[in-house]
Amino acid sequence: MNDSSWQPEPVPAGPAYDAQVGPHTRPMPIVPDAAGRDFDDREARDRGAAAHGGPLFRAETPPQEPMPSPPPPPSQAPQDASPPPPKKRAGRDLRAAIGVGVGLGAVIFASLFIVKAVFVGVIVVAVVVGLWELTSRLQEKKGIKAPLVPLAVGGAAMVIAGYVRGAEGAWVAMALTALAVLVWRMTEPPENYLKDVTAGVFAAFYVPFLATFVAMLLTAEDGPQRVVTFLVLTVVSDTGAYAVGWRFGKTKLAPRISPGKTREGLFGAMAFAMAAGALCMEFLIEGGSWWQGLVLGLAVAVSATLGDLGESMIKRDLGIKDMGTLLPGHGGIMDRLDSLLPTAPVVWLLLAAFVGTG
């Protein structure tokens, strides 16, 4: 069968069948179909146009505007600008640090200007606690058993001997303490003997022997003023390094040892300590002058920074942040003695050279 018989008859072209029907177009003729029924030829034309896809019945619906896409989730939102750099923050609880610092300062100054012997007792307590912290961390992190008992007894004896007999007494007590460490360690098995006694002798020199110079500062007639000068310069140096380094620090001083320290902070420590040194030598130390204070302040800034770096090296080797937790906001006693211990002999030596030991 021929499929063309099933197709609608073609619609003749002409104005009567124009797609645009207006008020002046001719009326469509009415013709009968094969069955004799009349129908509007317009309907036939419409069906034919629809079958052939003519333009008459093309969808006249206006084009729809595209639906607006939903906004991206916050995680996919475009970043118009890079986020601002994080604000610098202090690494410790400043309120606790300030409170503990004020309390320690009150104890120190009260003991200095009331009874000198009481301040010597404060030094002894600080030495013994510092030795306990150091030996405990050595044993916990490295398995090194530096004997605490001879260190504590010898450390206390060192401080008292330095106060009573001066440098000679301090050296004798240091030698006896080292000997006591060697003998005490013999009561245990020989394994790691050399490592343990080496750590013990190092601890005896690092903590009590250096602290002995603070007691020796106190023996002069203006001893309390000398100790105050020593403490003020060290604290001012640390404060200057922190303030300037926190605000302007960009160039690392020793990134492998202490990443937080900067060269700008070191210059701040020098400037602050030299200014404080000039004032202290001029108004606190009898016979002192401002230029001596400049030299003293510069030396203190260097020694305090080296002392801080030295303990940072020890703590980095041990893999710890603080030596202890005894002082909230400060860590342990050793974390406060780090810059004081190496600075004490520097201050004692320069003051002895400038104004004598009397």
Distances (CA, A) of 166 to 108, 161, 224, 342: 21, 7, 16, 18
Pull the structure tokens for residue 108. Answer: 């120190």
d(CA 78, CA 55): 46
Whether the predicted pLDDT of 19 surpasses 50 = no
d(CA 128, CA 239): 26
pLDDT tens digits along 256-291: 999 989 999 999 999 999 999 999 999 999 999 999
Local structure of 262: helix, strand or coil:
strand
pLDDT (mean) for 111-128: 91
Pull the structure tokens for residue 53. Answer: 């896809």
Distance, C-alpha 54 to centroid of its chain: 78
* Mean pLDDT, rounded, of the chain: 81
The confidence score (pLDDT) of residue 3 equals: 47
Pull the structure tokens for residue 55. Answer: 């333009």
d(CA 280, CA 278): 6
Q: At what angle do helices 148-185 and 116-142 cross, to 10 degrees?
A: 60
Percent of the chain with pLDDT over 90: 62
pLDDT tens digits along 324-355: 888 776 688 999 899 999 999 999 999 999 99
The predicted model scores a pTM of: 0.73
Whether the predicted pLDDT of 358 surpasses 60 = yes
Least confident interval from 105-109, 159-163, 308-312, 319-323: 105-109
The confidence score (pLDDT) of residue 255 equals: 92
pLDDT (mean) for 247-264: 93
The confidence score (pLDDT) of residue 231 equals: 95
Local structure of 332: helix, strand or coil:
coil
At a CB cut-off of 8 Å and minimum separation 6, what does 236 contact? 272, 273, 276
Residue spans of alpha helices (H) in the chain: 41-52, 94-114, 116-142, 148-185, 193-204, 210-218, 223-248, 263-283, 290-318, 333-337, 340-355
Position 116 confidence tier, pLDDT thresholds 50, 70, 90: confident
Whether the predicted pLDDT of 72 surpasses 70 = no
Position 307 confidence tier, pLDDT thresholds 50, 70, 90: very high
CA angle 286, 290, 296 (to 5 degrees): 90
Whether the predicted pLDDT of 77 surpasses 90 = no
Local structure of 31: helix, strand or coil:
strand
Nearest by Cα to 299 from 246, 258, 347: 347
The confidence score (pLDDT) of residue 60 equals: 45
The confidence score (pLDDT) of residue 115 equals: 85
pLDDT (mean) for 281-302: 96
Nearest by Cα to 317 from 170, 134, 177: 134
d(CA 247, CA 89): 11
Position 86 confidence tier, pLDDT thresholds 50, 70, 90: low
Local structure of 58: helix, strand or coil:
coil
The confidence score (pLDDT) of residue 197 equals: 97
Residue spans of alpha helices (H) in 115-222: 116-142, 148-185, 193-204, 210-218
Local structure of 57: helix, strand or coil:
helix
